[in-house]
């Protein structure tokens, strides 16, 4: 593809080896060389013969990190051939992590496993103060590697930097080729915890590259354009699709507010049909701090419910009276939903609240596989007994409750709907304030936990993949099945009230969107985004939890969590992964607002980081308006539920776990018709399929944990059980 550019801007080729940190490296390169034009390719998208015609048009090449081993062709791809091109094609190259290992291996170095794996670990690197380390003191860096090289005595590769540590001895951290313009580092200069030496080192590489080009390519002038098929320029901006012309555009929100002291949210839900189990019902529940706004959807027979299975080429739209299939016609379901919502955009709602109407529902874990190019293989009849990957309902009428002050908004997207708004306000004021007691769970449920021996074996399998360099962190989960005998069943709404009473959460949900009943007490927000103009996307990964006890003060929790290498490493890996996902969608404007801060929740202390991203000033409103949806598309599945690198981790977990996750570890939430959205991670949740509720009910809960090189299998088993307990208590059980 040819891109128009300003004359004489340098072109840099970034080779992505399917790493979840590649766009962090792109952002670092752009910061070091602001005038550069960055072209990105995958390491298996071209052969060396594909690249040779355009290779010498680049001013430099950056070989990014990636999973696997440099001696496996499917892991390293075209990179291994770059080190051996003839002089007339030679271009300065800077390698990172896997790039350093490949450079060394192709020039006589030997490859070994570290005795102690370094994934998400901070080390001090010593160096010669020359070449890419010129002008730097010892640097504090982040490492993600289980493999390392030992250089050949008297070989072509010279050591520039190293670490010295008790567990691994001396480890090569930086190298250069003796005669060719090749430099590389083992660590990650783009990580959020690598100090300012990361930027300075890339600037040094660029100065070395320019000097080499002047000496060895004196006639070289960067071309205005480079035509390299199967590449893209970063950052990239996505254009909106045209809206569906068959849908009427609703212009303005009708709303009114009222203060209702001592409001019973349960009574409010029951007035609007929470107990009417055959009908759909949607309630997003901020039942605990730091949650604030609860959203009750007022669903009617005309409310469209939209479902999709990712192995099918159509979307179903159902109302209380009809069901239609819409052929996707070659487009993805993300684009179809974007167009659907775009045709119903509104203005004029109260800017103080985050939701005016729009989509509410859930997206499964597998709904994110398309962005990773990971296939989902399903047998015929899958939809009959499994949950949809997309299960959303379009909400025209809704009620929003500010739980901090009992203020209520009643609102409608329908034209001339003032009568319904006023009637609903009067009904709310007449609701009883007292709450009917929720009966204690009977404890008749039969619980089938994951098999202990199999789970321990899966943890060990994960660790072997970590030691071999295939992943830095694998978020392993398994399923627990709950059977409630027919004579002990209660309504699913009563079940949710039980769950809410024993495990109130800031991101709770009761979704009855057939064929799925979805109960959640999630503590973790995944992604929120504000309305345009100036949309800001915020992600808040949680890794690290300490239960509140009388002796566990904030100071004690901070010492336990922030002082734990394992907890910090888990959080760091996900922060770096999320920064990559955001850089992919928005470009350079990504900021880590908080790293591993301690936050207080109802029952626990959590280790939380906050990352934000936005498009550049001056971005057209129609692009800014859909930014949050684009970030969601490019960020699923949640990194806190996969590990890193994301694509390889998802593929490995498919094999290790042996079954699909479904709704668990996907997301649920909303996308407002006026812009903005909020999606939470589907954890601490349980699900019931319509095919499993005639007679005995069969519920499913997912739980697990992030497996790292520091994980102890017994501790991981206990952590998985601890995470189950919050939901199990809603069934009168525990483990």
List the structure tokens of 85: 């091109």
Asked, for residue 466, whether it belongs to a domain, the answer is: yes
CB 67 within 8 A of CB 20: no
By annotation, the residues acting in catalysis are 97, 188, 190
Q: How far is CA 186 from CA 63, 82, 309, 506, 666, in A?
A: 12, 18, 42, 41, 33
pLDDT at 395 over 70: yes
When pLDDT is averaged across residues 353-363 and rounded to a whole number, the result is 97
* Per-residue pLDDT tens digits for 74-89: 999 999 999 999 999 9
Compute the distance between CA of residue 578 and CA of residue 194 in angstroms, rounded to an integer.
16
In the three-class reduction of DSSP (H, G, I as helix; E, B as strand; rest coil), residue 345 is classed as coil
Looking at residue 603, its pLDDT comes to 72
**Domain contains 2:** no
Answer yes or no: do 549 and 560 share one domain. Answer: yes
Residue 499 falls inside a structural domain: yes
Count of domains forming the chain: 3
Span 192-196, mean pLDDT?
A: 94
**Residues in Cβ contact with 682 at an 8 Å cutoff, skipping those fewer than 6 apart:** 362, 365, 520, 522, 663, 664, 665, 666, 667, 668
Q: Angle, to 10 degrees, between the axis of helix 565-586 and the axis of helix 22-32?
A: 70
Q: How confident is the model at residue 593 (pLDDT cuts 50, 70, 90)?
A: very high
Q: How far is CA 594 from CA 199, 396, 611, 636, in A?
A: 20, 36, 7, 22
Domain end call among 234, 267, 292: 234
255 CB contacts (<8 Å, ≥6 apart)?
A: 349, 350, 356, 409, 410, 411, 412, 421
pLDDT at 385 over 80: yes
Q: Are 179 and 291 within one domain? A: no
Cα four-point dihedral sign 237, 242, 247, 248:
positive
- Residue identified by tokens 């927000």 is 525
The answer to whether residue 52 sits within a structural domain is yes
Instruction: Looking at the structure, tell me whether residues 592 and 622 fall in a common domain.
Output: no
Residues 451 and 546 both lie in one domain? no
pLDDT tens for 482-499 read: 999 999 999 999 999 999
pLDDT of residue 248: 47
What span, in angstroms and rounded, lies between the C-alpha atoms of 299 and 395? 7
- Inform me whether the pLDDT recorded for 247 exceeds 60: no
* 452 and 502 assigned to the same domain: yes
Asked if residue 438 belongs to a domain, the reply is: no
Report the alpha-carbon distance of residue 265 to residue 406 in Å, rounded.
Answer: 10
> For 675-730, how does the pLDDT look when each residue is reduced to its tens digit (9 = 90+)?
999 999 999 999 999 999 888 999 999 999 999 998 999 999 998 998 998 899 99
643/648 Cα distance (integer angstroms): 9
Q: DSSP secondary-structure letter at 441? A: P
What CATH number is given to the structural domain containing 499?
A: 3.60.120.10
Is 642 inside a domain boundary?
Answer: yes
- The reply to whether 456 and 555 lie within a common domain is no
Going by pLDDT thresholds of 50, 70 and 90, the confidence category of residue 517 is very high
Is residue 384 located within the same domain as residue 522?
yes
Q: Which two tokens stand for residue 271?
A: 């007035």
Band the pLDDT of 4: cuts 50, 70, 90. very low
| 712 C-beta neighbours (distance < 10 Å), count | 11
Instruction: Report CA dihedral (631, 637, 639, 641) to the nearest 10 degrees.
Output: 150
Domain final residue pick, 614, 644, 674: 614
- Find the domain containing 606 and state its range: 539-614
User: Which residues does residue 58 pair with via DSSP β-bridges, in sequence order?
Assistant: none
Q: How many CB atoms lie within 10 A of CB 401?
A: 23
Tell me the per-residue pLDDT of 470-479, one tens digit each, with 9 for 90 and over: 999 999 999 9
- Domain of 76, CATH number, reads 3.40.50.880
pLDDT at residue 201, rounded to an integer = 97
Same domain, 688 and 724: yes
Which CB contacts under 8 angstroms, 24+ apart, belong to 279-283?
279/320, 279/512, 280/305, 280/393, 280/512, 280/513, 280/514, 281/493, 281/510, 281/511, 281/512, 282/360, 282/361, 282/393, 282/395, 282/510, 282/511, 282/512, 282/513, 283/509, 283/510, 283/511
The pLDDT confidence band at residue 562, using thresholds 50, 70 and 90, is: confident
Taking 60 as the threshold, does the pLDDT of residue 1 lie above it? no
Task: Please check whether residue 241 lies inside any domain of the structure.
Answer: no
Q: What is the mean pLDDT of residues 361-370?
A: 98
User: Given 199, 234, 269, which residue is the final one in a domain?
Assistant: 234
Statement to judge: residues 266 and 215 lie in one domain: no
Distance CA 32, CA 158 (A): 25
Tell whether the model's pLDDT for residue 249 goes beyond 80.
no
Clarify whether residues 224 and 205 are in a common domain: yes
pLDDT tens-place string over residues 605-616: 888 999 999 999
Residue 237 confidence (pLDDT):
62
Within its chain, how far is the Cα of 242 from the centroid? 27
Element (H, E) at 360: strand 358-363
In a domain, residue 332? The reply is yes
Q: Is residue 159 domain-shared with residue 220, that is, in the same domain?
A: yes
Task: Quote the tokens at residue 68.
Answer: 């696997």
Q: What is the pLDDT of residue 667?
A: 98
Residue 246, pLDDT above cutoff 90: no
Same domain, 456 and 490: yes
| Pairing mode, strands 11-16 and 60-63 | parallel
């Amino acid at each position: 593809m040819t891109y128009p550019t300003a004359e004489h801007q340098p072109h840099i080729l970034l080779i992505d080896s399917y790493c979840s940190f590649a766009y962090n490296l792109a952002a670092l390169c752009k910061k070091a060389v602001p005038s550069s034009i960055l072209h990105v390719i995958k390491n298996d998208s071209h052969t060396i013969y594909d690249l040779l015609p355009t290779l010498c048009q680049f001013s430099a090449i950056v070989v990014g990190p990636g999973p696997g081993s440099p001696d496996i062709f499917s892991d390293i791809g075209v990179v291994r051939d770059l080190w051996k091109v003839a002089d007339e094609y030679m271009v300065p190259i800077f390698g990172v992590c896997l790039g350093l290992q490949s450079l060394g291996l192709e020039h006589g170095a030997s490859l070994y496993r570290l005795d102690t794996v370094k994934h998400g670990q901070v080390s001090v690197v010593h160096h010669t103060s020359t070449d890419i380390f010129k002008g730097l003191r010892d640097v504090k860096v982040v490492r993600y590697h289980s493999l390392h090289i030992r250089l050949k005595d008297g070989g072509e590769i010279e050591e520039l930097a190293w670490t010295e540590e008790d567990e691994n001895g001396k480890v090569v951290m930086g190298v250069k080729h003796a005669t060719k313009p090749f430099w590389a580092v083992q660590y990650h200069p783009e990580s959020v915890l690598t100090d300012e030496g990361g930027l300075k080192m890339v600037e040094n590489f660029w100065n070395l590259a320019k000097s080499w080009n002047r000496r060895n390519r004196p006639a070289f002038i960067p071309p205005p354009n480079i035509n390299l098929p199967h590449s893209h320029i970063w950052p990239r901006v996505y254009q909106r699709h045209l809206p569906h012309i068959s849908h009427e555009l609703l212009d303005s929100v009708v709303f009114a507010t009222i203060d209702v002291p001592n409001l019973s949210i349960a009574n409010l839900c029951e007035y609007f049909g929470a107990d009417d189990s055959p009908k759909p019902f949607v309630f997003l529940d901020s039942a605990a701090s730091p949650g604030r706004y609860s959203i009750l959807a007022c669903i009617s027979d005309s409310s469209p419910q939209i479902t999709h299975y990712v192995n099918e080429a159509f979307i179903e739209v159902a109302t209380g009276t009809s069901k239609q299939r819409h052929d996707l016609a070659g487009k993805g379901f993300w684009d179809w939903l974007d167009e659907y919502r775009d045709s119903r955009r509104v203005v004029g709602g109260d800017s103080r609240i985050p939701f005016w109407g729009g989509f509410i529902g859930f997206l499964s874990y597998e709904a994110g596989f398309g962005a990773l190019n990971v296939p989902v293989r399903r047998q015929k009849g899958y939809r009959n007994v499994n949950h949809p990957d997309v299960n959303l309902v379009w909400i025209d009428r809704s009620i929003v409750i500010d739980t901090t002050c009992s203020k209520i908004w009643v609102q409608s997207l329908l034209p001339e709907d003032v009568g319904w708004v006023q009637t609903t306000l009067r009904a709310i004021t007449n609701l009883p304030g007292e709450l009917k007691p929720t009966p204690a769970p009977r404890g008749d449920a039969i619980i089938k936990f994951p098999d202990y021996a199999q789970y321990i074996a899966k943890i060990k399998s994960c660790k072997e993949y970590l030691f071999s360099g295939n992943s830095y962190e694998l978020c392993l989960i398994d399923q627990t099945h709950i059977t409630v005998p027919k004579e002990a069943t209660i309504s699913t709404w009563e079940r949710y009230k039980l769950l809410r009473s024993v495990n109130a959460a800031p991101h709770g949900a009761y979704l009855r969107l057939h064929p799925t009943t979805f109960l959640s007490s999630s503590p973790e927000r995944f992604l929120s985004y504000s309305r345009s103009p100036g949309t800001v996307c915020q992600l808040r990964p949680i890794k690290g939890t300490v239960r509140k006890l009388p002796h566990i003060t904030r100071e004690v929790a901070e010492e336990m969590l922030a002082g734990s290498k394992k907890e910090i490493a888990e959080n760091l890996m996900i922060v770096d992964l999320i920064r990559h996902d955001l850089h992919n969608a928005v470009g350079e404007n990504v900021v880590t607002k908080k790293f591993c801060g301690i936050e207080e929740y109802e029952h626990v202390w959590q280790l939380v980081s906050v990352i934000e991203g936005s498009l550049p000033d001056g971005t057209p409103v129609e692009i800014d308006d859909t930014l949050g949806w684009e970030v969601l598309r490019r960020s699923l599945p949640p990194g806190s539920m996969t590990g890193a690198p994301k694509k390889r981790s998802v593929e490995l977990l498919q094999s290790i776990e042996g079954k699909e996750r479904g709704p668990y570890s996907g997301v649920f939430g909303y996308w407002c018709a006026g812009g903005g959205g909020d999606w939470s991670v589907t954890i601490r949740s349980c699900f019931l399929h319509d095919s499993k509720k005639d007679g005995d009910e069969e519920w499913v809960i997912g739980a697990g944990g992030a497996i790292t090189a520091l994980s102890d299998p017994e501790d991981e088993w206990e952590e998985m059980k601890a995470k189950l307990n919050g939901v199990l208590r809603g069934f009168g059980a525990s483990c």
